Structure 1
Amino acid sequence: MAKDKVSMNHSMSSSVHVQSLKAKKKNNRWIWYVFLLPSFLGILLFMVYPIVESFRLSFYQSNGTIENFIGLKNFQQVLTSTSFWNSVWNTFYIAFFQIIITIPLGFIFASLINSVKFGQNLLKTVYFLPHVTSIVAAAMIFQFVLHPDLGVANYALEALGLPASSWFSDPATSKWGVILLAIWHWIGFVIIICLANLQAISPEMYEASRIDGANKFQQWLFITLPNMSGTFAFLLITGWIGGLQRFNEVYVLGGPSGSPARSIQTMGAFIYERGFTGFEFGIASAATYIMFIIILVFTFINLKVSKMKL
């Protein structure tokens, strides 16, 4: 009996102890929300509030202090603006040539690096360095490299017997100056992504095809390319999203108006010019949401073309 009472008291005390621990944990659970509070407040302040406020401003004529509700007139003004559609054309033009040049070129470089037995890490580092370089610093460097009189690019062209170019001084060539900068800055990322996928392809597939009599070109055509389709789709989508949001480099090279003659003004630069130079915050907000819809629709089309599921 005495032993039974002792065991019963022990079990009761254990049960009480467990319940007290659970109650203590339950009471201390709010502490975790305190740790999450700074991040939550940061998201509300720097992400949610600007999105909501920008949407509200898109229906107002506003200079930052005086507001007047005008409904959809801001959207109408943006959609009928020649400058806006010129910025859309510039954005798509630069992004298109950046993508169709950089992805194939990056894949070729990745294939060559993958075939090297020694020094792969060094080559990956060298090629990836431009991507981690500040785009503002890179744009300032390219201003010198592509300078019409002092730039090393024109010296190289003349040494090859080719005519020199005015680059950023001529509207006919300024877009290609931005494209060259974009290729130089993005190609390292493409190389690293392609190289990671190339190294993930099973060597047994190549060995089996070699036994069946496939040559190097056939292996590349029927094994490498099909296995790279997902990577190409990823690079295509991320390239378009990044390209359609282009702002920093064109602002450094041509200012908010995209000089010369608005030839390199992108949608982002148009929004900045109307909002922070012209103090037309309603029009800038409306243009922001139009740009968002354009990016959303274009991303959806890319996903469908790439046969990827949303």
Structure 2
Amino acid sequence: MSAGKSAEKSNVAVIGLGSMGFGMASSLVRRGHAVVGYDPSATAAERLVASGARIAESPSEAVANASVVLCVVVNSAQTDAVLFGDGGVFPVMPPGSVFISSATMAPSEAKRLSSRLAEREILYLDAPISGGAAKAANGALTIMASGSPNAFARARHVLDAVAAKVYRLGDEPGIGASVKMINQHLAGIHIAAACEAMVLASKLGLDLSTVYEVITASAGNSWMFENRVPHILDGDYRPLSSVEIFVKDLGILQDMARAERYPVPLAAAALQMYLATSGAGMGHDDAASVARTYAKLSGASLPTAKAAS
């Protein structure tokens, strides 16, 4: 379903102010919500203050007056630390408040966290996100969410502010996480395939800009090809999503598939390329850096970054 446009306003804590969390917090501010943010990075915190939000010194301080907590961290371990670590929010959140978890994690972890929060009658919404930093900044994300009807009802005005589409996938935490892993399965393969194809094009002596133009108008195109190949063309590997993200996510996928006794050979091959790229020192660069690994293996030439004028 598409997100509606609720006029309700509330106090919202946003934990994690990376490219996605910062954009989501800024969207909430624009929609008139009172936002308090927390991030261990002082730079991220200063940026959020400039957008009109307040900054807390710890997660627990951030949620002191919040009815909704939006947690935008990398994985289940970081989410667990936000909830139960030093300065964590679990002892502070009142019964009936909502914890929206947007980290990509295994469905079993989403279920575990939800169960622990239920001990204090805190509502949990399993709500991973997709769309990238630009859509986060514009309040136009896609959210794949599952949780109780009560959690959805109490969080709807926050979801409306940060998303163009909110898919309500079921009442049980873990469903949203499962759907996100299917998305990451495809995204990881598509990026690796785009890199493999473009480096082959270089080996064949083709003009890469022309190949990009042709493929984006042809059946071989994908959203990831169109979105990430410009990194290769520009020799600019500043991250939209890093190599390490796909090392993590395709690793989770492998574990899930193994538990189901289900083969995922394409994802396994893509994971090996992300691991090789990370091992070569490019883990925190954009996932399109897989192209550089292919280039090193094959002796192909790729465009280099343009000098700043």
Considering the TM-score relative to the shorter chain, is it more than 0.5? no
Which structure dedicates a bigger proportion of its chain to helix?
Answer: 1
The structure showing larger relative contact order (alpha-carbon pairs under 8 Å, at least 6 residues apart) is 1
Normalising to structure 2: TM-score of the pair? 0.27
Normalising to structure 1: TM-score of the pair? 0.27
